[in-house]
Amino acid sequence: MHRCKRTFQSLSVISMLALSSLASAQEMPDPTAAATGEPGAAPAEVAPEAGTVAAPAAASDPSAAKYGVAFRARWISVPSWFLGLFTQKNVPLSSYSVGLEGYRRKVDRDDPNRTWELSVGVGFQDMSMPDGYWLGKGKDPNVDTDLVQAKNFGLITMDAAFVSRQYFSRYFGIHYGAGLGLAVVRGKILRTSARPDGKGGFIVQRPDGTIICNNSATCNDQQLAATQGPGDQWNDPHRFQETSVPGAIPIINLLFGLDFPIPDAKGLEFRLEGGFFDAFFLGGAAGYVF
């Protein structure tokens, strides 16, 4: 009897130990299940506590170079006073130019409101002045005056400039710069000898007395075309093409202007500017910085 009792007590202890071991095994997470995503797995990552804010992503380097493009449109002028430095009589030019620019811009190390920019551009500049009479400096008006006509005369331009921009607020700044370039000359210049009309003006007159062009440079195009050829003289005019026009000329670029960034449309900017680009100019541009 006592032996049966002791046997029963031993079995009870063994049963309790087995149940305790099983319960502990169920409470411990299976590390292999965590990798497979099975139920009961320990979480791979700890979720942030409620109310905490995740750290922001690292900001881009403000000193890194930025790139942009712009479209420019300008009114150009070669005034009479400027031509007067080289001529006694001339016809001033008023026309237009358009172009595209690409630029690389960096913030100044010492002034975050200043940038330095290398800009390159291509464009077209119309240089066709109205028909009119021209006389060079120091020339005899009786024999050296010419009717000058520009036919589809213009410049295909390529230029590079260094530009500095100083911003005074998010909405306003100024810029200034200088550069050089090259222009391919297109079109032609036609010349015809003229003579004084006795009234302070000039005319193109044939030997028989027929006036082909009056003192306002209004011409009978058919009669003027009939004179085409060599042998042009003041008393026997013949229209001819000027052969001394170069195929390409250098560009001198000087500019100053106002900048108007648009903070609400990030990257968009407008500007007004004036200066000299082988002609005086005033115009504007719209650009976008990437």
What are 190-236's pLDDT values in tens digits? 999 999 999 999 999 999 999 999 999 999 999 999 999 999 999 99
Of 35-49, 56-70, 149-163, 165-179, where does mean pLDDT reach its minimum? 35-49
Closest CA to 206 of 165, 236, 227: 236
CATH T-level fold of 66-289? Porin (2.40.160)
Mean pLDDT of the 248-256 span: 98
The residue ranges of every structural domain in the chain are 66-289
Closest CA to 96 of 280, 285, 289, 290: 280
From CA 182, how far away is CA 184, in angstroms rounded?
Answer: 7
For residues 184 and 248, the answer to whether their CB atoms sit within 8 Å is: yes
Burial-class residue 123 by CB neighbours within 10 Å (0-12, 13-18, 19+): buried
In sequence order, the β-bridge partners of residue 286 are 71, 270
3-state secondary structure of 22: helix
Residue 63 — pLDDT band, cuts 50, 70, 90? confident
Exposed e or buried b for every residue in 147-175, given b needs 16+ CB within 10 A?
A: bbbbeebbbebbbebebebebeeeeebeb
What confidence score (pLDDT) does residue 248 get? 98
pLDDT in tens, 139-181: 999 999 999 999 999 999 999 999 999 999 999 999 999 999 9
What confidence score (pLDDT) does residue 14 get? 44
Nearest-Å Rg of the Cα atoms of the chain is 42
* Angle (nearest 5°) at CA 235 between 234 and 241: 45
Whether the predicted model's global pTM rises above the 0.85 cut: no
What confidence score (pLDDT) does residue 23 get? 44
